[in-house]
């Protein structure tokens, strides 16, 4: 009977959902889509499909509407499949050497131990960031003049 209920795939979905405080039956389509996205870097597309079948099967057994055919889940599955097909075509954003060679210790060695950053420029940058943050996160709304009644 384990094959009919989904076995490990269903148990994995239940554990993932409960760890996040999400309802398992009936599962919300957003929950299933989030689970699929969580599985994407960890599993291949065949394994993700098996997990989706297990979720659908459990809903069928319990006579519930399956969230598998919801547009959100379908779009998420198509996104995962497309990303899997083009995975080899995409270049890495950074190479590991970018992080290994540019540590603060090596930057001091390259300049002979001297700090070449101009302190005034650094202070101006901090002040402008604070001003921008103040504009973005102010608690009072900006007052705008009323338009004259025509």
Q: Is residue 109 part of a domain?
A: no
Q: pTM of whole model > 0.85?
A: no
The domain that holds 58 is classified in CATH as 1.10.150.130
Query: Residues 40, 83: contact at Cβ < 8 Å?
Result: yes
Q: Is residue 69 part of a domain?
A: yes
Q: Is residue 141 part of a domain?
A: no
Segment 40-82, tens digit of pLDDT = 888 888 888 888 999 989 989 988 888 888 988 889 888 888 8
Q: Is residue 22 part of a domain?
A: yes
Q: Is residue 132 part of a domain?
A: no
DSSP 79-97: HHHHHHHTGGGSPPSS-HH
Q: Which domain holds residue 62?
A: 2-87
Distance CA 66, CA 28 (A): 9
Nearest to 50 by CA among 83, 80, 6, 84: 6
């Amino acid at each position: 009977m384990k094959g009919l209920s989904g076995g490990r795939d269903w148990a994995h979905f239940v554990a993932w959902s409960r760890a996040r405080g999400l309802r398992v039956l009936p599962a919300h389509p957003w929950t299933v889509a989030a689970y699929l996205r969580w599985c994407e870097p960890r599993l291949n597309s065949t394994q993700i499909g098996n997990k989706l079948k297990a979720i659908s099967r459990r809903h069928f057994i319990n006579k519930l509407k399956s969230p598998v055919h919801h547009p959100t889940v379908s779009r998420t599955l198509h996104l995962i499949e497309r990303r899997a097909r083009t995975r080899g075509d995409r270049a890495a954003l950074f190479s590991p050497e970018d992080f290994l060679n540019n540590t603060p210790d090596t930057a001091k060695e390259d300049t002979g131990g001297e700090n070449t950053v101009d302190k005034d420029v650094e202070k101006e940058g901090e002040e402008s960031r604070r001003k921008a943050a103040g504009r973005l996160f102010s608690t009072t709304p900006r007052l705008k003049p009323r338009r004259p009644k025509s």
